[in-house]
Amino acid sequence: MSERFEIVFLGTGGPLPNADRCGAGHVVVAGDTNVLVDCGWGAARKLIPSGVTPSSIGTALFTHMHSDHITDVPDFLFLRWVTGATTPLRVYGPEGTQEMIDGFMMALRRDIGFRIAHHGDKLHPNGIKVEVEEIPATESRRQFLDIGALRFESFEVNHFPVVPALGFRATYDDRSVVLSGDTKMCDSLSAASRDVDMLVCEALNVPMLQGMIDSLRPNAPLQAGTLEDVPSYHISTPEIAELARDANVGEVVLTHVLPSVKNDSAAEEAFMKGMSDVYPGSIRMARDTQRIPVRKRDS
């Protein structure tokens, strides 16, 4: 019987507010190990509804320092602490991760002191501590973490001018999954995705985004103008389909969808329209709190 290996989707939206989709966040579940990957706005609050106890997470990974991937870190740290964490959180991410964690911990310093004064030894002092290791950005895959039989590799992606930005490949029980992070189409993502069982990929629907831009332009020209910059550093749905086909990917799961769509099958199908004409494998769009198992791809 296969070991449990699945992705829990905490937040599947982008930086713009959406009632159905929070900022980026996932949990990689491998047997009894839970690893958090990114923690954008609202993602931490989706842990318990997703069936993941915050204190069960001992390791967190970050792809890059955009706000919609990091702003729920303070909530996660406190949720982890008050649900019983007794060891420091281990954090891995690109250059800038230490600065991000230091900034949040400085902002929380007084709150931490108040809670210790109030609750005493009911909260373990190590449970709110964080240990950071920054990962070099390399075009080819680089192994940086083993947790038992769960292995993580990192690779640099192209999210310029966000430099560095990383994607991750996780392997467990003879199955593999790539988490793209935010990126445009690039050779490093294609190479890392070769023969992977599941590709969890951010996704941009260009016509839908253009429709949003056109609707905003008359009354919100600044917002429309900033959205016009979005396609320059995100991967489009046709490109994802081509990558998955050429890399022999077993299954594609879309997340960080731009623009965010409602939890509605018709809207999701419209977003993915045309992808199946290029890539013959399974394509789906994840929703917040959904658990999707990583299955061995057909040879």
Beta bridge partners of 184: none
Residue 168 and residue 93: Cα distance in Å, rounded? 10
Q: List the structure tokens of 19.
A: 């009632």
Amino acid at 250: G
CA angle 63, 242, 269 (to 5 degrees): 85
Do residues 50 and 8 make contact, with C-beta atoms less than 8 angstroms apart? yes
Please name which of 74, 32, 75 lies closest in space to residue 57, comparing C-alpha atoms: 32
Residue 40 and residue 219: Cα distance in Å, rounded? 28
Residue 18 and residue 13: Cα distance in Å, rounded? 7
The catalytic residue among 20, 32, 38, 68 is 68
DSSP 122-157: GS-GGGG-EEEEEPP--SS-EEEEEETTEEEEEEE-
Q: List the structure tokens of 278.
A: 């290029």
Reduced to 3 DSSP states, what percent helix, strand and coil does the chain have, rounded to the nearest 5? Answer: 30, 30, 40
Residue 107 and residue 287: Cα distance in Å, rounded? 31
Beta bridge partners of 79: none
Residue 156 and residue 284: Cα distance in Å, rounded? 25
197 catalytic residue (yes or no)? no
- The residues assigned a catalytic role are 68
